[in-house]
Amino acid sequence: MAYDMLLSPMKIGTMTVRNRTVMTAAEMSLGRTDGCPTEKLMDYYEERAKGGVGLIIPGICRVNDMGAASTFTQLSMSRDENIEPMRVFAERIHAHGAKLCLQLHHPGRQGYASSINTLPVIIPIVKRFPRVLDALFRCTPLLLGLEEKKICMSVQSPSNCELSAHGATRIHAMSRREIKHLIRDFVDAAERCQKAGVDAVELHGGHGYLIQQFLSPNTNLRTDEYGGDFEGRLRFLREIIEGIRARCGRDYPLIVRLTVDEMYAAVGKSGKGYDLETGKKIAKRLEELGVDAINVTCACYDVYNRWLEPTSYEPGWRAYLAKEIKSVVTIPVIAVNFIRSPEQAERQLEEGYQDFIGSARSFICDPHWVEKVESGHAEQIRRCIGCLHCISSFMTNAKVGKSGECALNPGVGQERAYENPPQDGNGRLVAVVGGGIAGLAAAETMARRGFRVELFERSDEPGGQVKTAAACNLKGKLLWCVEDRLASLRALGVALHFGVEATADSVLALQPWAVILATGGEPVRPRSIRGADAANVYTPPEIIHRRTVLRDQNVVVAGSGMTGLETAEILNETGNRVTVIEMADEIAPGTWFQLVDDEMERLVPAGTQFRPGMQLLAIEPDCAVAIDKKTHALVRLPADSVVLSLGVRPVHPLLDELKGKIENLVCVGDAVSSGTIADAVHSAYDACMKLR
C-alpha cells in the first residue's frame, strides 16, 4: 500500500513539516531539575527524529519555576539560562530533518506541591553545585511520600486555601496581578523558544490544566473579566496568544492543544463542563486569533480514560472529534485518535478527519515507525497495545527518581545502548525454550547481538499467557505484541519451531552457547485452601478460553487482579451472579487505576459484587468459606462454582536437568516470577544483555 498523504509534507504556519506525523507530548521524566535537557532526553527524541517523525513535541515544558511545575525533571523555558541548552537540543533534532515544538504548560490545580515547593530551592543549588543533582533525585521519594500523606508543603498560596483533589497543592482563585504575571511568563517562554531555534510552540489547553481550567465553566467560576461568559473564559488564553504574537511576530508557528469536549457526558454527568459544540466554537475563535494549528484532544483528569485510553478502546474511536473541528477551521488539525497502523493513518487523512497524525505512544513503542513505512516494511512496526505501562511507570518511577518506560520497548531512556547492542554473538547458537512474549523478546535481543537463535514452543502457536489475556473481552490488541515480535524475528533470521517440545536431550544435542528458559507459569491452586481441587473449582484460563462455560450460577472469584476482574466480566455474560473477593483491603491492589476503572465501567452495571478484606479458607459444594480480616468472622458466600485467580507459579522443568551442563543458562518472564507483559519483556532483555 502506498502512503502518499501520510508521507507528504505540509505547512503549519510558516513551518514545513516533512510528513504528516507528529510525536505529541508525553512526559517521561528524562530532563534535569533545572529544566535543561539531559543527554538521555536528547538521545530519546533524537532517535524518533532519526526514525522519520516529522514534528516532535517533547513532554510538558514549564514557564515558571515557582508555581508551574508538574514534575521534578520536566523541561523549562522559565529562565534565559535555558536558551542555549535548548538550542543544542533543537540542533540535534534538526540534524535528522525533523522539527521541534515545545509545549508550554501550567498544571493549575493538577500540579504537585512537592515539585512546586522545592524546585525554586533546588535550581540555584544545581546551578552552583551540579554534582548534587543525583542526591536531589534521591529525595524525590521522600517528597512525594509526604505529599501522598497530604502533608502539604506548598507555599504558593495562603495556608487556609483549599487542597486540590489532584495533589497536595493549595489552590486559590488567582488575582488579576497573578494572571498578568503568568501571561507574561508564557510570552517570555515563547520568546526564549524562538531565540533557541525551536521551530514552534504549543500552548497546552487540554486535560484540565490551567489554560483549560479557564476555558471550562466547570472550573472557571470567576465573575470578573476572566470568567463568566464564553469570551471571559477565553480571555486568559487570548491574551497569551496576543502576547506571543506581539513579541515573536506573526510568522512564529503557534499551536494550541485543545480539549474540544470534556467528555463528562460519557461518564453520566451531562451538562458538566463543556461539550463538542463549545469546543468547535473555541477552535474557531483560536483561528481568528491567529493560531496556526489545533491539536485536538479531549477530557481531563476527572475523565482520565477518555484522553489516555486503555487497550479496550477501538483505534480511531474519537476521530469524529477531529473531523468536527476540521469542519469549522481552515488551519491544520493535528489529532491523536488512538492511531496504531499506517493504514489507519492514511485512511483518516484521505477521508478528511485530520491533517496530521498525532501520537505519543506509537513513537514511544517504536521510534522507527515512520522509517519502516517509508522503506516498505510496515509489517515490522512494533505497535503500541495500549497497556498504559508508559504512564503507570512514569508515575510510579517518579517515586524512586527514575524515568518512564514502555512495556514493549526496553530501550526507552537508554537509546544509545539499545539501538547499538554489542555485536558479540559471532554466530554462536542460543536456544530459547518457550514462545511466550518473554521468549520472543529474548530471541530478538540475542539475534540483534549477532547470535544464531533457535526458538522452541511446544504448542502450535506462540503467545503463552498473552493468548489468555488477549482472549478477554476487548483485549484482542494484546496479541499485536506477539505478532510484531514474530515479524521482527523472521526478519532477523531466527529459526522458529512451533509444535515442538524441547527436552534436555534435544537441547544438549544442539551444543548451544546459551539456553534461555521462557517456559512460563501455571495458575496457582493453594494447598492451604481446603477444597481447592474440587470439581466445582476452576482457574481463569478455563473460563477465559471458554473451555468451561458456567451459566446461571452463584460464582465466587477469588482474587481481584486484572485477571480476576476480566474473568468476572466473562462470567457476567452468561447470567452468573458474580462475587469477587480479595484478601487486601482494596480491590485490585497495586493495579494501575485506569485499568481498574475501565473494568469497573462494565462490571458494576452487570451487578458484580466486591468483597475486599476477605481471605478464602475453604470451598464447599455450595459455598466459599472466607474470613473477614477486620471482624475475624467466618463468612459463607453462596457459590455453585469458584474461580481461583490467585496468581501464577513458575514452571521450568528443564532447569534442573540442564544445570551444570550449560554454562549460560537463564530463566526469564513467568518462569522466574509472575508478572505483566512489561515485566516479561524487560526481564528477558535485561537477562540477555547480561550474558557475556
Active site residues: 209
Burial class (CB in 10 A: 0-12, 13-18, 19+), 451: buried
User: What residue type is assigned to position 77 of the chain?
Assistant: M
- Tally Cβ neighbours within 10 Å of residue 426: 10
Distance CA 511, CA 506 (A): 9
- Torsion angles phi and psi, residue 344, rounded to 5: -65, -40
- Which H or E run includes 581? strand 577-582
Distance CA 75, CA 78 (A): 9
Q: Helix, strand or coil for residue 638?
A: strand
DSSP state of 523: E
DSSP state of 383: -
The answer to whether 63 touches 56, Cβ cutoff 8 Å, is: no
User: What residue type is assigned to position 92 of the chain?
Assistant: R
Integer angstrom CA distances of residue 423 from 448, 449, 451: 8, 5, 8
Q: How many residues does the chain have?
A: 692
Distance CA 551, CA 540 (A): 16
User: What residue type is assigned to position 277 of the chain?
Assistant: E
Q: Helix, strand or coil for residue 12?
A: strand
Helix axes 39-50, 83-94, angle to 10 degrees: 30
Integer angstrom CA distances of residue 248 from 55, 193, 200, 241, 254: 20, 10, 11, 10, 10
Distance CA 456, CA 452 (A): 14
For the record, the C-alpha cell of 195 comes out as 531565540
Burial of 93-122, coded b for 16+ CB within 10 Å and e otherwise, reads beebebbbbbbbbbbbbbbbbbbbbbbeeb
Q: Among 592, 596, 587, which Cα is nearest to 560's?
A: 587
Distance CA 209, CA 206 (A): 6
The answer to whether 77 touches 39, Cβ cutoff 8 Å, is: no
Q: Among 616, 655, 662, which Cα is nearest to 639's?
A: 616
- The dihedral sign for the CA sequence 605, 606, 609, 615: negative
Beta pairing class for 170-171 and 162-163: antiparallel
The answer to whether 602 touches 593, Cβ cutoff 8 Å, is: no
For the record, the C-alpha cell of 193 comes out as 523558544
- Which H or E run includes 439? helix 437-448
Burial class (CB in 10 A: 0-12, 13-18, 19+), 301: middle
The answer to whether 212 touches 300, Cβ cutoff 8 Å, is: yes
DSSP state of 37: P
